[in-house]
Chain A
């Protein structure tokens, strides 16, 4: 089967690259072995939160230039701060035109979001129904509300209101806790291990349960400036929190829960919808099992490029998938884009060259769990056109994007979604040029 481009991986990076290419009129297929890490993320998109010297970033443009000096192997630094900035702005416009309603912008700098434990975290873009707190130039919160009501679902375990309330109080917010349930939730709760955010949202999104929701929200809003709820509503109805805000005449805002994340899953589905709407061909639950390279494989100088001629996948068997260009966006260990075993670490599809993998296995991880883990920086090596390498040789018709790349720590540096979006658009640009 022939396409202009085949994208491997259905996460933020894969969909972003694919939709950008479809919009330019290229035909595009996307293969994915399973759902992406968006389902576990906060649903806020982080761009750059901290530098290697541990300083926090709020002015993103300045942060990128500091990063280029301190961390030249970071994908942002490889693309260069100017290019990164240009692509990130493009991403903001693209996301908006794809119907992802996000607040925040590069020019305004990082704002603050709440973690599931109520901690304030700097971030780039947040869905418009989540708690969005502007920050001043030093990163101090500029709270729009003083009195906050925390409204939770009874016996929901992936969100702890007491811990969040304590954090909010420490921020000088007068916080009250409220709880509600409804008969359908009581049925769902009989199965405690499935009483999770998205499953609850699918119940609360139903019109028949709206009266319970409205009543609970109105009650909680009575003596508050705003109501915060764990993100377990609005999965199929992204406007639900906004509609409730109108009814209660107070802002109703969501806080991400522990995984699975309703906000992240919703982003994933919105991207998939855009992909299909633009004519993309989705190949779910499929993976490359074999590929064919052309070019002088034994070129000892290593100067000539190799090209991928065709792919063979599990579902398509003897019918090859043939594309002029390819994007690898298969994620990291979590999504199995990178694999590790006793012999080492490898990129799962092509066995591409990796960066930052120490010789000795004992150097892969630190004893301190929350420390800056070396394995977080493992990943595929790219050049400024996002082209990866195989045994030192450039693969001319392959680009790599997102978490499969090496050289950055998405958690410590707070840059996961930003790297995915920027490198995906860089890959699309490289293909189009």
Chain B
């Protein structure tokens, strides 16, 4: 089935509600907006590919338009599919660097201290800014010295002692930049009596490739991951992932954009926090120590799309002493690798400004979000630390 036919684009009533909620249109008047880029433009593109508008690359793929649409048009998908069909290959070396997170991560991890040092010295920043097109003030994620996978295979606590097992899809960020979130994931699942395995082989979910227009490579990754996930599900009941973006990509973008079928396993691929909730509903218990802390919950765009923030909110409330504020759901502006590109960076900060203000106004000590790039953006822009709910739960276990 042609994926475009599944987007319901013919149901558009031209109400423009989608544009009201598009974070990019708000700050970038030259972006045609979701209605024009999506269902309206599609009718023209179907007649003639010459109607394809290059400005579609300014869409950050946040999907907030789809969530607002009263007529159930999958606008973000219409735009992504148009880019896939018409944009042509992306020849920018900068975009290739940003998009190939797994390859770059593997290389960088081998020489992590050098990369971490080099990417932050002024001369490199000057070069990155002027030649490559990554703004000088952007803070780069630190690369870890060993990958999460290496740690898992060499130093993990014994997982075979648990009768029940799940498979963890860790994603690139845990593997190369933030292995401690992977370790926290294991600690939390172990506390619930569940052992953790990894996929035989895991590739980047593909989301940075999709947003930079490397659809072919994204599909290769998707096919490989789909095969490995299906295999893992013959041995464990579920595949879980702490990241909202990876989870959304595996569940939605594979069939909707990349045309990689997942109906045989989609329901068994879950956000880690939702699986924790599921286990607790079955009677498993977690005991938390008291922590007097003010926490603000940020609903990442792809978390909004999954519709699962309620699980994180419910679980965070179990920590005694934790005071929770729910921030108004707004895009932080980073949208994966979007904000790392110089032509987007100014807009990226403008998009995020109202969210940053609400974080400051909340007076919180910590922001919680399931998205790794929101974490980078929020920490850089507000100075307030931002963690995955898994980390907060795992670190407060008694």
Contact = CB atoms under 8 A, between A and B. Distances in A.
Interface of A: 1, 29, 33-36, 39-40, 184, 187-188, 190-191, 193-194, 196, 198-199, 202-203, 236, 259-260, 265, 272-273, 276, 279, 281-286, 314-319, 335-336
Interface stretch (B155-163, B169-177, B302-310): B302-310
A265 B310 CA distance: 24
Interface string B311-355: 101100000000000101100000000000000000000000010
- By DSSP majority rule, is chain B's interface helix, strand, loop, or mixed? helix
Nearest to A259: B15
Contacts of A1: 277, 310-311, 314
A95 B20 CA distance: 24
9 contacts: A34-B70, A193-B35, A194-B36, A196-B19, A203-B29, A260-B20, A284-B329, A285-B307, A319-B277
Contact of A39 (B15, B274, B309, B310): B15
Contact of B313 (A281, A314, A315, A318): A281
B307 A286 contact: yes
Interface string B63-82: 00011111110000000000
Contacts of A194: 16, 19, 25, 32-33, 35-36
A283 B310 contact: yes
Nearest to A280: B326
**3 closest Cβ contacts across the A-B interface?**
A315-B307, A34-B70, A187-B29
A236 B70 CA distance: 21
A32 to B, nearest CB: 9
B40 A193 contact: yes
- Counting chain A CB atoms within 10 Å of each CB, which of B16, B20, B30, B307 scores highest? B20
A187 B55 CA distance: 14
Given A194-B36, A284-B304, A319 B29 contact: no
A286 B304 CA distance: 10
- Counting chain B CB atoms within 10 Å of each CB, which of A35, A40, A194, A279 scores highest? A194
Given A194-B36, A283-B307, 8 more contacts: A33-B70, A34-B72, A188-B29, A193-B40, A194-B19, A281-B313, A282-B329, A284-B307
Nearest to B64: A284
Contact of A199 (B14, B25, B68): B25
Nearest to A321: B310
A196 B16 contact: yes
B33 to A, nearest CB: 5
Contact of A191 (B14, B36, B305, B308): B36
Contacts of B311: 1
A380 to B, nearest CB: 20
Contacts of A187: 29-30
B310 A281 contact: yes
Interface of B: 14-17, 19-21, 25-26, 29-30, 32-33, 35-36, 40, 66-72, 267, 274, 277-278, 281, 304-311, 313-314, 326, 328-329, 354
B326 A276 contact: yes
A272 B19 CA distance: 18
A34 B71 contact: yes
A67 B388 CA distance: 56
A202 B330 CA distance: 15
Nearest to A236: B354
Contact of B305 (A34, A188, A285): A285
B20 A316 contact: no
A1 to B, nearest CB: 6
B328 A184 contact: no
A35 B328 contact: no
Nearest to A279: B326
Contacts of B314: 1
Contacts of B72: 33-34
Contacts of B33: 191, 194, 199
Nearest to B274: A319
A285 B310 CA distance: 13
A191 B249 CA distance: 31
Contacts of B19: 194, 196, 198-199
B66 A35 contact: no
Nearest to B305: A285
Given A199-B19, A315-B307, A184 B70 contact: no
B267 A318 contact: yes
Given A194-B25, A285-B66, A318-B267, A260 B17 contact: yes
B330 to A, nearest CB: 11
Contacts of B326: 276, 279
Contacts of A314: 307
Given A196-B19, A281-B313, A184 B29 contact: yes
Given A283-B310, A284-B304, A40 B36 contact: no
A193 B66 contact: no
A203 B51 CA distance: 27
Contacts of B306: 315
B346 to A, nearest CB: 13
Given A193-B35, A203-B29, A260-B17, A29 B310 contact: yes
- Counting chain B CB atoms within 10 Å of each CB, which of A1, A283, A285 scores highest? A285
- Counting chain A CB atoms within 10 Å of each CB, which of B36, B70, B309, B311 scores highest? B70
Nearest to A285: B67
B119 to A, nearest CB: 33
Nearest to B281: A319
A283 B306 CA distance: 10
B342 to A, nearest CB: 20
A315 B15 contact: no
Contacts of A190: 30
A190 to B, nearest CB: 7
Nearest to B13: A334
A143 B314 CA distance: 53
Given A29-B310, A191-B33, A319-B278, A199 B20 contact: yes
A191 B28 CA distance: 12
A231 to B, nearest CB: 13
Contact of A193 (B20, B21, B36, B69): B36
Contacts of B308: 315-316
Given A29-B310, A33-B72, A285-B67, A39 B17 contact: yes
A98 B247 CA distance: 36
Contacts of B354: 236
Given A1-B314, A29-B310, A34 B32 contact: no
B281 A40 contact: no
B47 to A, nearest CB: 17
- Counting chain B CB atoms within 10 Å of each CB, which of A36, A259, A284 scores highest? A284
Contact of A35 (B26, B30, B70): B70
B40 A39 contact: no
Nearest to A188: B29
- Counting chain A CB atoms within 10 Å of each CB, which of B16, B30, B267, B309 scores highest? B16
A260 B15 contact: yes
A318 B17 CA distance: 31
A34 B19 CA distance: 14
B267 A317 contact: yes
Contacts of B307: 283-286, 314-316
B75 to A, nearest CB: 12
Contacts of A193: 14, 16, 35-36, 40
Contacts of B66: 285
Contacts of B15: 39-40, 259-260
